[in-house]
A and B are shown apart, each in its own frame.
Chain A
Amino acid sequence: MNTWIQTIIDSPTRVAIPIMTHPGIEAIGKRIIDAVTNGETHFQAIKALAEKYTVTACTTIMDLTVEAEAFGATVNMSDHEIPNVTGRLVHDMKSIEKLQVPSLSMARIPEYVKATKLAVEHLNKPILSGCIGPYSLAGRLYDMSEIMVAIYIDPDTINALLAKCTDLIIDYCKKLKEVGATGVVIAEPAAGLLSNEDCSEYSSKYVKRIVEAVQDDTFTVILHNCGNKGQCTQAMIETGAGALHFGNAADMVNVLETCPENVVVMGNIDPVGILKQASAETVYRTTTELLEKTAQYKNFVLSSGCDMPPMVPAENILAFFQALDDFNKR
């Protein structure tokens, strides 16, 4: 079994790994655009959080535009908003056949690799880097609404696109592994809009290829699917990823009952409704309730249900960790 996964499962206390970088960007007085375009700034944001909170591992920015931009997609960036892909890069088999799998020197990939490398070198914690999942990437290149229909109308075209997306993600994950990351959080939210059968066919099959290419005793794949309401948990398990990360739409106890004991299951405090918008008291109470409900499962890791959004109050993050500390003292 992967060393890090084993450490988590063997831990005598419950651990927390929220997916968060935006509070770190705010803590160092930078803008989102600074962090998503500069590996050094990105690293400083991760460092600020590692020093302030008792995180078991550090995560990088969940930016779902990096790989699409490397393929040639246009990305819209603004000072304080998460980047978006605009327009449509490919629309049929011919344009997909012409599409080149980019090298890792394209667009902002080198800056993201740099952030991971600096975090590995300077922070004494496991670093969980990040990338997009194959179906979510294909949706950004083909148009998200159109790919949803095309998997039924023109599946060969979509499979050809997914194969190219997977090739880039494998190269990228190998690089993150090479610079010393403990694992990679593969964000595949669009697959959560599919049935279990479609998720298996158009996402898990390709995620499995990535897992087989990079996961070993020293490197873990954490598959994040915050769109899953419980319908495609089996498809997530099929990937063989060492850890599965769930959004707040999933029932964590049901998920833990479904997942094998040797797979780490992470989730799922609502990042917007609770962590951003609720009071610190509500964050504390909700976190405590989740910890109590999941107490019997050794493979559970407390986390946010998705990337923590910008402008989450610091007192709410402290309440999240306070609930964990108090739970562990019992």
Chain B
Amino acid sequence: MESILNKLGECVEFGKINQASPYPPAMKEQAGADELTKEALNTGIEPQNILNDALIPAMDRVGNKFTEGKIFVPQMLLSAKAMNEAMKHLKPYFQNGEIKRKGTFIIGTVTGDLHDIGKNLTGMMVEGAGWEVIDLGVDVGADKYISALDQYPNAICGMSALLTTTMSNMESIIASIREKHPGAKVIVGGAPLNAKFAEKIGANAYGAVPQDDINWLNSNI
């Protein structure tokens, strides 16, 4: 059991999506996250253990390496893709409640902004940390966040913006959300933002890198 989970964790950490993937060269032709997750389930390993003992620790290592500047966006995205391959096999267990998640995170790029690489990266990393992620996409206004919060009342919201013109939309979106959901918690991020701006617009937190979001979300459990 430990051997499969260790191998699966390595696949996620180093971005080995499946056997056919040529990356990383050192793991060429070896089974990837796809095959190893299937194997783990077939050998009777509990889905919750696959998540807790292989996938989450691997993504945690990935997040830390990115924060420390040891890996960059492509490597992190490859790890996230490997994680997603594993998650496809676990999906039925999330749906029937056999695997428990830490909470729900609603994420989107705000009104007027169509950039999504930061939002995608953060969403994938947060999912890899054991949270359910509801991705609202790009150009997201208050109405979509409110609808999502109606459906997931205990969820935490994440907002992304790349443009200086659209980051200013965050303030009114947060205000509108809190009119309907007064206790709503919001974390914001994006290249032109900083912690001071986040505080000024009423956000609860600022994430400079995905690991900041994960750490703050985990502190809210």
A residues within 8 Å of B by Cβ? Answer: 76, 78, 80-82, 84-86, 144-145, 148-149, 151-153, 193-195, 198, 229, 231, 271-273, 276-277, 309-311
Contact = CB atoms under 8 A, between A and B. Distances in A.
B21 A153 contact: yes
Contacts of A80: 165
Interface in B121-163: 121, 163
A276 B77 contact: no
Interface in B23-72: 23-24, 69, 71-72
A273 B192 CA distance: 7
B197 interface: yes
21 contacts: A84-B113, A84-B115, A86-B114, A144-B115, A144-B116, A145-B77, A145-B116, A149-B74, A149-B77, A152-B15, A153-B23, A153-B78, A193-B74, A194-B73, A195-B72, A231-B72, A272-B164, A272-B193, A273-B192, A273-B194, A309-B165
B112 interface: yes
Contacts of B19: none
A277 B78 CA distance: 36
Given A81-B165, A145-B120, A309-B192, A76 B114 contact: yes
Contacts of B78: 149, 152-153
Interface of B: 15, 21-24, 69, 71-74, 77-78, 81, 112-117, 120-121, 163-166, 192-194, 196-197
B186 to A, nearest CB: 19
B171 to A, nearest CB: 13
Listed residue (A152, A194, A309, A310) with the most chain B CB atoms within 10 angstroms of its CB: A152
Listed residue (B24, B73, B194) with the most chain A CB atoms within 10 angstroms of its CB: B73
A149 B81 contact: yes
Contacts of B113: 84
